[in-house]
Amino acid sequence: MYVIHLNDGTKYVGSSTTNIRERTNKSMRSKHAVRKAGYTADDVANVTYFTLSRGTSKTAIRRMEQTMMEGVKAKGGTLLNRRDPEIEVPIGQYLQ
């Protein structure tokens, strides 16, 4: 799980199976939300991340991404994520 923090305070929340440097570099490609919004590598202030345990399910990862996005929005932050909600899981439903 990672968050790209841009100089203007905008954030992008994501997950990756590759290393963070490689994934951040990919975010500068033309099809990625960060690049499509007009940002370049010079606009990246910081990248924060944490590693998940092997075997964490895709559903659980998507739910964590959504939780992180909701946290950014709750603090009045701006997200670049085009897919929001990341996943819809009814309250009380078991995550596999």
How large is the average pLDDT for residues 12-28? 84
Share of the chain above pLDDT 70, in %: 88
Sign of the dihedral through C-alpha 77, 87, 38, 47 = positive
Question: How far apart are the C-alpha atoms of 5 and 13, rounded to whole Å?
Answer: 9
pTM: 0.81
Question: Residue range 27-40: average pLDDT?
Answer: 87
Q: 10: which residues sit within 8 A by CB, 6+ positions away?
A: 37, 39, 77, 78, 79, 80
Query: Which of 95, 69, 91 is CA-nearest to residue 82?
Result: 69
Given a cut of 60, whether residue 60 has pLDDT beyond it is yes
What pLDDT is recorded for position 17?
79
Per-residue pLDDT reduced to its tens digit, 84-96: 766 665 555 544 4
